[in-house]
Every structure is written in C-alpha cells, then in structure tokens.
C-alpha cells in the first residue's frame, strides 16, 4: 500500500470537507445573506438553513472520520480493522478511504455472526 498516496488523498479530502463545513456555517450565520423582514421569505430562508445544517453536520462527521484515518495512518494501523484486527480489504479502502473496519465488520460483523452461533 502506498501510504503517501493515501495520506495525500485524505489530506485533500480533509481540506474539501473543512471548506464545505465552513462555507455552510458561514451561510448559516447569514454573513452575506441577512434574514429577511418578510415572513414568507424567512420561512424559505429557514428551510434553506436546515439544508445547510445537514450539509455542515455531514461534512463534520466525515471530517472526523478522515482525521481518524490520518491518525491511524500515522500509527501504522490504517489497514487494520478496528473491530476484529484483521486487514481491511484494499479495494474497500480504495472505495471508502476513511473506513476503520473490514467489510465483514462493516456489514454487521463477525461478532454478531458469532453470537448467533451455528445457525
Ligand atoms: Zn473486522
């Protein structure tokens, strides 16, 4: 695994997410678009704010995952599943570069399957 390429990719993604989160929260504060005095217009603006809030919080969540992935990369644990300790499939990391678990664990897990026993 080319960890430098992965790090570059994650850093780039982190910058995009930071940008998106900060733009959405700047809009939410109405820095460039003050709340209208008109009630109907305010309703539209508040609906828009809900959308911005969702964008901002989903960007924050992904941002945390990307930062956690960068930490795991620095610790040499990037390809290790946080749940079962097995290697995460390279193609899975290619598709979801910030994942911290292997496909089995992500899909409900070896543990859950084990708990159900031999059904
Ligand atoms: Zn696992």
Q: Cα–Cα distance between 71 and 13 in angstroms, integer?
A: 14
What residue segments make up the domains of the chain, in order of their start? 1-77, 79-119
SS (H, E, C) the chain: CCHHHHHHHHHHHHHHHHHHHHHHHHHHCCCCCCCCCCHHHHHHHHHHHHHHHHHHHHHHHHHHHHHHHHHHHHCCCCCECCCCCCECCHHHHHHCCCCCCCHHHHCCHHHHHHHCCCC
Tokens of 102: 């292997």
What separation in Å is there between the alpha carbon of 27 and the centre of ligand 1? 39
What separation in Å is there between the alpha carbon of 109 and the centre of ligand 1? 7
What separation in Å is there between the alpha carbon of 55 and the centre of ligand 1? 29
Which phi and psi (to 5°) does residue 80 adopt? -95, 130
* 8 Å CB contact between 41 and 77: no
Per-residue pLDDT of the chain (119 residues; tens, 9 = 90+): 788 999 999 999 999 999 999 999 999 888 877 888 899 999 999 999 999 999 999 999 999 999 999 999 999 999 999 999 999 999 999 999 999 999 999 998 655 544 544 44
Tokens of 100: 């911290």
What separation in Å is there between the alpha carbon of 106 and the centre of ligand 1? 7
Which phi and psi (to 5°) does residue 42 adopt? -65, -40
Residues with CB under 5 A from ligand 1 (ion): 81, 83-84, 102, 105
pTM metric for this prediction: 0.76
What separation in Å is there between the alpha carbon of 14 and the centre of ligand 1? 25
């Amino acid at each position: 695994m080319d960890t430098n390429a992965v790090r570059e990719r994650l850093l780039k993604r982190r910058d995009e997410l930071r940008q998106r989160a900060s733009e959405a929260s700047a809009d939410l504060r109405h820095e460039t678009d003050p709340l209208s005095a008109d009630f109907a217009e305010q309703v539209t603006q508040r609906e828009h704010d809900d959308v911005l809030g969702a964008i901002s919080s989903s960007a924050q969540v992904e941002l945390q995952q990307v930062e956690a992935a960068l930490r795991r990369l620095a610790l040499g644990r990037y390809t290790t599943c946080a749940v079962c300790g097995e290697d995460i499939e390279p193609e899975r990391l290619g598709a979801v570069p910030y994942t911290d678990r292997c496909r089995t664990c992500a899909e409900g897990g070896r543990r859950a399957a084990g708990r159900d026993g031999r059904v």
